Structure 1
Amino acid sequence: MTRLNRLLCSAFAASLFATALPSQATEITNSAVLEHYSNVVYASYSDSIAAAREMQAVIDAFLAAPSAESLAAARKAWLAAREFYLPTEAYRFYSGPIDDAQGPEARINAWPIDESYIDYVKGKAKAGIINNPKVAITKDKLKSLNEKGGEENVSTGWHAIEFLLWGQDFNAKGPGDRQFTDFIDGKAPNADRRRQYMKVVTGLMIEDLENVAKQWMPAEQNYRSKFVAGDKESLKKALTGLGVLTRGELAGQRMEVAMDTQNQEDEHSCFSDNTHRDIIGDVVGMQNVWEGRYTGKDGKTLEGASLKALVAQKNPAVADLVSADILQSLKLANEIQAPFDQEIIGKKDAPGRKRVQAVIDALKKQGKDLVAAAETLGVKRLSTKQP
């Protein structure tokens, strides 16, 4: 082989070796992660608002012409809209726009609720705001009455709408079954006030969601602009949202309490029997935040710098562990059988209770590994308890 051929062969081999090696990855910065996190937050709140508006249109059609069919359509729309709200709960628990001192979270998703605060219940035909003609049914009035005199005195939000659509749940095998005639004049007392209540409370919830979304809008002087510039303190907030939702809220308040009491009133969506989907939606929200990936209402995927990638730069094993934890939590959550209120009943070894307990245990492990991930980024003593 001539010297030239040897040189050419060496050059060719070197080029093959070079193409086999991946190009050096660009370093993920705190700023890039916070910017993308904000993009995901804004996109998911925007989808939640769009879905809630679609629900509002179907509810308006039901109120204009109550029937069994239009009520069923309104319930279906509530369930569909709920799917887009649930993942946004991963942006809570750090005094952001949704739940700071002025935040509307308590008007949007407060629970459990004393349904007799809103409308009649079994044995109390004249109970509730709806059946008290002295109380004006306006946006401002319902806002002022929400949680007045007690945390369960809930007058607004998802679960108020849910109760108006389904009514109390007395069916072990399914959800509540409020009759459409409750909304027809002459068929039920105060049907006009019930229609007005439904219309006002639905509009108020959308307005509250819109106000939160505005604080995450890009290129504005709002909460988002401060958050993106917040460096490690904002990373701590994003991780706190994940940690508290994982352990204190979902595993603790929403699941362990219900397991302990075995009381239907302690399940999250007790009128519609949608609690199993509530659990899944919350875990999906955690996954969106951790992986930096969000699939929108339009089917398009938004992907970018993530908390996982940031942690992986320092400790790939911990990053992969948290991803595996979330996948396991999601898998087990999907194994819970509806209705949730029947899963929590029985002895410790009852199949339903074992399925729910498996999710709780997975979330507890996930919470501990999130603390380790936070420590990798220099975030000490990450809270996973409710603030």
Structure 2
Amino acid sequence: MRNIQTKIASYLLAAPLSILLFACGGGSGGSDGLGLALAALNMDTPPTATQSEFLNRYADMAYESYSQAVTDAQALYTAVDTFSAAVSPTAGDLTNLKNLWVKARASYLLTEGFRFSGGPIDETSVLSCGDAGDYSGSDECEGLLNAWPLDEDAIENYINNTGSINFAGIYGAIGNTSYGTEGNPEKIVMTGYHPIEFLLWGKDNSGSPAGVNSVAGVRTFSDFSGSGNGPKRKAYLKAITAALVGHLTLIRDQWNPSTGAYRTTFLDPANTGDSVGKIFQGLGSFIAGEWGGERLTGSFGGDQEEEHSCFSDTTKADFYYDAQSVLNIWTGNYSIVKGVNISTGAGLSNILSGKSQGGIHGELIKSRDVFCINLSDTETADPNYTTVCPANSLTDRYDQIILSSNPGDSLYNENTILQNTQYLIGETLKRDFVNAANTLGIHVTP
């Protein structure tokens, strides 16, 4: 006991020197030791970064994240271009496109933490996307990239009834219920990741009876061959994949360190408080309303149409990377593969005192790791694919888990884990995040 007291006293006596060394870029040992001593005395630890330092890191990470999304989308487009030029694409060619989509999807999902924060992804006063030569226009960019759910019959009917396929025509068909079968204009989604997903996998109605969904969609390469709709289907795929690259590029360029218009405004010292407030509000909205809200609760009724990536059966990856996207901003570390930091810097947590951070870090880790990316028929190209899942994680297909909501159902235990995870994100994490913002005088309305 005496030795412990002596160590704590020595840390407290050395505290001014430790803080000085930290501020001057000294080693982490003194700072960590001080934090341990203060924690032992139930005292708070101060923030380790200024708001300006955090905002610069946030802007850098936004540019890095969208740059990776562009790179992976471009790789997909290059393969689609080759695929489209082939007279008779093969099964291997189609599998290659699916794998590239899975990889591109992961890097895009890591940008989702930047939503709802007044930035170029979904604020039309900053940036609008469309069908112009550079893919600018008058629409919110996020909707053209990631809208869901979709009436997939609209895409097939458009292909069936259109002679020459081009992006301007596809763009003009958005919301036109004459192409669909559900009568809902919001489901006439013609562009973005999910229409590409549908074209690659087809409807996910496998199994007997239909709807058991023992595998992902089973579209075959022959759908892209012949002289009928095959060439038009390839043209549609190529057009919307090119647009995907174009829209992502516009967003990325707004964060460019040298020329990004939004970045300049965002980092203006006069806007520091406003920018920090928008980030807190955006993350709060994403955590409670989107990731832990509509996407999870919308699927609890067992409706496959509400499953985020229903054609490829990669919905668990959607939730995994949503958690990682928030964790990246929280820590300041840009990470795709679990445990591997591509770049590091000051995160949102660093502008908060130790106590103000609450349990957010652990809650983000837990809400990420519960989604195991392990499906051998569709997820092997995912950067975090694994054959060894953590204990108490979701190991089965998402569309089967949401159908097992009654005691006695085969996957009822996993359904319960999913329900508890929604509460963790939508209630516990939301509460702690709102409380953290309050300590800085920022009011968040999730």
Contact 1:332 1:358 in 2 (8 A): no
Contact 2:253 2:260 in 1 (8 A): no
Q: Please give the residue correspondences for 1:261-272 in structure 2 after superposition, counting only pairs within 5 Å.
A: 261-272=301-312
Q: Please give the residue correspondences for 1:1-387 in structure 2 after superposition, counting only pairs within 5 Å.
A: 22-24=18-20, 25-26=22-23, 28-65=49-86, 66-101=89-124, 102=128, 103-119=140-156, 128-133=157-162, 136-148=164-176, 150-171=185-206, 172-186=213-227, 189-220=228-259, 222-229=261-268, 230-259=271-300, 261-295=301-335, 301-312=342-353, 316-334=354-372, 335-349=393-407, 350-364=412-426, 365-380=428-443, 382-384=444-446
Distance across 2 between alignment mates of 1:296 and 1:258: 26
Contact 1:348 1:354 in 2 (8 A): no
CA offsets, 1:254-286, max 9 Å, x none?
A: 111110x21111100000000000000110000
Q: Which moved more, 1:175-184 or 1:351-360?
A: 351-360
C-alpha deviation, 1:53, in angstroms: 1.1
1:34–1:175 Cα change, 3 Å: same
Q: Percent identity?
A: 32
Distance across 2 between alignment mates of 1:300 and 1:372: 28
CA offsets, 1:149-180, max 9 Å, x none?
A: 51110000000000000000112211000011
CA offsets, 1:212-248, max 9 Å, x none?
A: 0010111325011111122121112112222122111
1:148–1:227 Cα change, 3 Å: farther
Q: What letter corresponds to residue 312 of structure 2 in structure 1?
A: S
Q: What letter corresponds to residue 378 of structure 1 in structure 2?
A: G
C-alpha deviation, 1:130, in angstroms: 0.5
C-alpha deviation, 1:80, in angstroms: 1.1
Q: Which moved more, 1:229-238 or 1:208-217?
A: 229-238
Contact 2:116 2:122 in 1 (8 A): yes
Contact 2:358 2:436 in 1 (8 A): no
Q: What letter corresponds to residue 112 of structure 1 in structure 2?
A: P
Calculate the TM-score normalised by the size of structure 2: 0.75
C-alpha deviation, 1:300, in angstroms: 5.8
Contact 2:117 2:283 in 1 (8 A): no
C-alpha deviation, 1:197, in angstroms: 0.3
Contact 1:37 1:289 in 2 (8 A): yes
Three-state SS of the structure 2 residue aligned to 1:301 is strand
Three-state SS of the structure 2 residue aligned to 1:28 is coil
Contact 1:337 1:343 in 2 (8 A): no
1:94–1:300 Cα change, 3 Å: closer
Distance across 2 between alignment mates of 1:211 and 1:133: 29
C-alpha deviation, 1:23, in angstroms: 4.1
Distance across 2 between alignment mates of 1:355 and 1:181: 40
Contact 1:276 1:338 in 2 (8 A): no
C-alpha deviation, 1:148, in angstroms: 4.1
C-alpha deviation, 1:28, in angstroms: 2.1
Q: Which moved more, 1:143-152 or 1:242-251?
A: 143-152
Contact 1:54 1:77 in 2 (8 A): yes
Distance across 1 between alignment mates of 2:175 and 2:251: 20
1:291–1:118 Cα change, 3 Å: same
Three-state SS of the structure 2 residue aligned to 1:42 is helix
Q: Which runs of 5+ in 2 are unaligned?
A: 1-9, 24-47, 129-139, 178-184, 207-212, 373-392
Contact 1:268 1:278 in 2 (8 A): yes
C-alpha deviation, 1:133, in angstroms: 2.3
Distance across 2 between alignment mates of 1:253 and 1:294: 26
Q: Which moved more, 1:93-102 or 1:41-50?
A: 93-102
Q: What letter corresponds to residue 325 of structure 1 in structure 2?
A: E
Distance across 1 between alignment mates of 2:320 and 2:242: 26
C-alpha deviation, 1:328, in angstroms: 1.8
1:142–1:208 Cα change, 3 Å: same
Three-state SS of the structure 2 residue aligned to 1:151 is helix
Distance across 1 between alignment mates of 2:205 and 2:321: 25
Q: What letter corresponds to residue 85 of structure 1 in structure 2?
A: Y
Count of aligned positions: 352
Q: Which runs of 5+ in 1 are unaligned?
A: 1-13, 120-127
Contact 1:273 1:338 in 2 (8 A): no
Q: What letter corresponds to residue 442 of structure 2 in structure 1?
A: V
Contact 1:108 1:156 in 2 (8 A): yes
Three-state SS of the structure 1 residue aligned to 2:334 is strand
